[in-house]
Structure 1
């Protein structure tokens, strides 16, 4: 699993640290569990027995502030102590939480290792943003050799042996108005039970063309053709094929073919490469075909059903 710490989130979102224990710097406060907790139940003293939930970051805002306001001041400390346990990676508070000074004072009093961080976002906006960020950072992942583009709203991962023409085909697709995510080294993640791809940051916006070298897509086509990531809806595997080997290719494309990533199936189509075939056009056609199938319009299936009906009538 990818390492994620509180310091990374503070830097990423430009947040302010109100309290941190010098013996437990934020860069060493690891976040290992997906999700966030609103702190109401914790403030009330409830402690879940599920480790995955009890070790999430805590977010305090208007509802928690309202709860504290309903208590007598002499009770503040005991309730704040409830959420300052070492198992909590960090506490994030929004402008709507009115007791940040009291909370920080309690943390100092017991020398808590839990950092307290101020957020200037609205609660719902920050909760959604931080939850998504944690999911992506802690998601299962693997790195593949291939090129990722977005065609008609579908993420297409183009794979095949080195030198078969993946990058050249990608340039053709970009000239046709499609979007570029990355070339050569693609990170595959499982996010919300979907397979998502993004480029290795080291080669962001770059593509390698044999005989020419490294090209910057943004300088050739502009930033408007760049996507940072995309769900992978289809895999196109380019293969070299000659003469009688054509007979081994599924001509109708009616066999279910999938690649499995993290127990999630992604449709896969094998396209033979040979002189005279326009791969960009073929890949566009494959995407359109998949979109039509997803909408219940399968030309191959309809053709086969029609053949069966005709054969049945002739009996």
Structure 2
């Protein structure tokens, strides 16, 4: 489920500073949508969304100078809803005194920034979208390998955490062990992170819980990553069938996004860390247009054609 976000969180994670109402920073933000109340300044409130953070820039503050004090106070009080998290004024501008008065009456914090409206709008939307997005918990490990987020899944006891530890020792970065919280960034991308209680921690059978940040340093961990593909570790069995050429189109769907999936058989003597590194490099090469399987098929077809001409 999505996290609870307050104005205090927004203030701490975007380039905002508090102007007034510091004692009201516990007001909850329930949507990532930001309002630019231009029409509302003219008195049109039919589609006003009071539950959004309200952003006022050069246009709104300039228009306010054309209004009388009484008009401004009426408009400001209408904007200050019981669910309104806060007001933000951009581009180094100041809210009219009437707005400051109404904000104090409604116990709504006012924040300011030197950034333009477009810049702070982008910052706030990016932060709130990530924090308020619905999470799906996946049993597995998320590792940053060569800049790609690899979601490693598999049956309990197959060796996911041990393999992740070896990958960390080889210079890659742990994002989450045992449980990965995944949310949709947009129609095509998924972001994975560790639950707060498991951040930087890893459980190893026979050893216990270790703190990867403490043991291996800040370069061994990362807070979140875009999930590139799922690598599933499957116990090898005699009658099992696996994709030998790597040209399968296997996928899994998480949060409505299709994620490429590769199944890697686990067998005694196989160096899983090296295989996962190689699989990651191969995946990246394919995305760049270098497909070894396609090259093999072309060579095979060429050889067949040559043999057919020779037989003729």
TM range (shorter): 0.7 to 0.9
Offset at residue 256 of structure 1 (A): 0.4
- Deviation, 1:161, is 1.4
Deviation at 1:162, TM superposition (A): 1.6
Q: Does 1:99 align with 2:92?
A: no
Which whole-Å CA distance do the structure 2 matches of 1:234 and 1:10 have between them?
Answer: 31
SS in 2 for 1:275: coil
CA distance in 2, matches of 1:174, 1:71: 62
2:141 to 114, 138, 147: 147
1:296 and 1:54 map into 2 onto residues whose CA distance is 49
User: Is residue 2:167 matched to residue 1:167?
Assistant: no
| TM-score between the two structures when normalised by the length of structure 1 | 0.85
Please name the residue that 1:60 is paired with: 56
Q: Could you tell me how far apart the structure 1 residues matched to 2:206 and 2:147 are?
A: 31
Matched, 1:184 2:156: no
Match of residue 4 from structure 2: 4
Structure 1 pair 255–84 and aligned structure 2 pair: CA distance change class (3 A): same
User: Equivalent of 2:35, from 29, 34, 37?
Assistant: 37
How many angstroms apart in 2 are the aligned matches of 1:129 and 1:79?
27
* Structure-2 separation of matches of 1:48 and 1:312: 72
Is 1:208 equivalent to 2:210 in the alignment? no
Equivalent position of 1:299 in the other structure: 292
Q: Which moved more, 1:278-287 or 1:79-88?
A: 79-88
Which residue matches 2:124? 130
**Worse overlay, 92-101 or 177-186:** 92-101
Aligned to 1:288: 281
The answer (yes or no) to whether the contact 2:35–2:54 under 8 Å persists in 1 is yes
- Alignment RMSD: 2.8
SS at match of 2:80: coil
TM-score (norm: length of structure 2): 0.85
> Which SS does the other structure have where 1:243 is aligned?
coil
User: Distance between the aligned counterparts of 2:3 and 2:171, measured in 1?
Assistant: 37
Q: In structure 2, which of residues 266, 276, 279 is the aligned counterpart of residue 273 of structure 1?
A: 266
CA distance in 2, matches of 1:285, 1:297: 14
CA distance in structure 1 between the aligned counterparts of 2:300 and 2:50, rounded to whole angstroms: 60
Aligned residues: 304
